[in-house]
Structure 1
Amino acid sequence: MDVRILMLGNSFTFTNHMPQMLAQLTGAEVVHHTRGGARLSEHLNPRTKLGALTQEALDKEHWDYVVLQEMSHGPITAPSSFFASVEQLCNKIRENGAVPILYATWAYQRGGAKLTAKGWDYDEMTHKMSEAYHKAARENHALIADVGQKFYEMSDTQDLYAADGVHPSELGSRIAAETIAAVIQEQKEKLR
């Protein structure tokens, strides 16, 4: 039986056709429920188009993995919503028989306009984002694809950001797909 992956997120997930990259890397069928700017809480709300779609998919279809990606700065600017949404989604995902994976995203580009406008420090944003995603993964026994950490380690030598300093470049999306694929591969090997 083919592996099926459902990705819940926003433009950080769908930019540069990242779900297709993940499908190529894993050989899985990858479906994404995304909308630019969407928060995880929207996937829990059946009164929204995205929420209705996600709830139906989790109730009626089989998935092996469900990848969760919060709105870019959500884990640090709306932590209570982030932690509550991850918990509820992880419970729903487990009821489905699937494994939840948190797709931990990155800080805005160092020196970029968006980071400056928020008045944040690059290292601080990276640390807070990582801390929030790791805490959510621990508390919910979810796997974590720490793409943000990869960006942190590579951004000085690689062009990982789109021109807006927020979204991933094509290479950034490829690294995200490779990081998620590696987590899935590692999980499969543990289950052998």
Structure 2
Amino acid sequence: MMRILMLGNSFTFTNHMPQTLAGLTGAEVVCHTRGGARLSEHLNPSTKLGAQTQAALRDEHWDYVVLQEMSHGPMTSPERFFSSVEQLCKQIRECGAVPVLYATWAYQKGGGKLMAKGWDYDEMAHKLHDAYHKAAQKNHALVADAGQRFYELSAAQDLYAGDGVHPNELGSRIAAETIAAVIHAHKEKQL
């Protein structure tokens, strides 16, 4: 059975998204998440999450490892983001798995959180897109661009939870479908 490890935070675990991904792929999906976690935490064995992730990458078999950075991390801390992706992709390859970057979305257009930060919706969307794609290219990783899907669909469909940051159930479903499609396409190429 295919095994997928997901490393991330609430954008990964909200609305039972890993279970949805398992249903779409037929894989066993394991999650190492904590609300607000950054990818750098998964590299730090002195944290609970880091110790768990480091042991899983060292001792278990995975087919795909999905990486999701804290929502605005690729934009506000790009050096930390690129460094964490590089180190994790190296470890993922060493254990024989394929890294997948789960590119997330800009905060809801006109939403309170976006306004409070003083950010522009289009600018946030483009910066996140560019950072995830650059990191994927540099590290020969797959990219599941849920952020682009949100950008394309959110004018016509409500994809956000009440906080204007997290996905609602439909948003999580679209994220899971985006990740599943990338994994299916990669598996087809391997045949």
Q: Mark yes or no: TM-score above 0.5.
A: yes
1:72 partner amino acid: S
Partner of 1:21: 20
TM-score normalised according to structure 2 size: 1.00
Mapping of 1:56-95 within 5 angstroms? 56-95=55-94
1:93 partner amino acid: I
Inter-partner Cα distance in structure 1 for 2:97 and 2:157: 34
Aligned partner of residue 140 in structure 2, secondary structure: coil
Q: Kindly indicate whether residue 54 of structure 2 is the aligned counterpart of residue 50 of structure 1.
A: no
Instruction: Quote the offset at 1:179 in angstroms.
Output: 0.2
Among the aligned pairs, what percent are the same residue?
Answer: 79
Aligned partner of residue 67 in structure 1, secondary structure: strand
Partner of 1:126: 125
Inter-partner Cα distance in structure 2 for 1:95 and 1:188: 19
Aligned partner of residue 7 in structure 1, secondary structure: strand
Aligned partner of residue 162 in structure 1, secondary structure: coil
1:119 partner amino acid: G
Instruction: Quote the offset at 1:124 in angstroms.
Output: 0.4
Q: What is the CA deviation profile of residues 75-114 of structure 1, one whole-angstrom value per residue up to 9, with x for unaligned ones?
A: 0000000000000000000000000000000000000000
Partner of 2:29: 30
Instruction: Quote the offset at 1:67 in angstroms.
Output: 0.1
Inter-partner Cα distance in structure 2 for 1:103 and 1:188: 17
TM-score normalised according to structure 1 size: 0.99
Inter-partner Cα distance in structure 1 for 2:139 and 2:155: 32
Q: Kindly indicate whether residue 187 of structure 2 is the aligned counterpart of residue 188 of structure 1.
A: yes
Instruction: Quote the offset at 1:22 in angstroms.
Output: 0.1
Q: Which runs of 5+ in 2 are unaligned?
A: none
Instruction: Quote the offset at 1:155 in angstroms.
Output: 0.2
Q: Which runs of 5+ in 1 are unaligned?
A: none
Q: Kindly indicate whether residue 4 of structure 2 is the aligned counterpart of residue 5 of structure 1.
A: yes
Instruction: Quote the offset at 1:173 in angstroms.
Output: 0.2
Inter-partner Cα distance in structure 2 for 1:95 and 1:63: 11
Inter-partner Cα distance in structure 2 for 1:73 and 1:130: 11
Runs of 4+ in 1 over 4 A off after TM superposition: none
Partner of 2:147: 148
Q: How many pairs are equivalent?
A: 191
Inter-partner Cα distance in structure 2 for 1:76 and 1:101: 19
Instruction: Quote the offset at 1:129 in angstroms.
Output: 0.3
Instruction: Quote the offset at 1:41 in angstroms.
Output: 0.1
Q: What is the CA deviation profile of residues 150-177 of structure 1, one whole-angstrom value per residue up to 9, with x for unaligned ones?
A: 0000001111000000000000000000
Aligned alpha-carbon RMSD (Å)? 0.2
2:163 partner amino acid: D
Instruction: Quote the offset at 1:118 in angstroms.
Output: 0.7
Partner of 2:157: 158
Q: Kindly indicate whether residue 134 of structure 2 is the aligned counterpart of residue 135 of structure 1.
A: yes
Q: What is the CA deviation profile of residues 127-155 of structure 1, one whole-angstrom value per residue up to 9, with x for unaligned ones?
A: 00000000000000000000000000000
1:137 partner amino acid: A
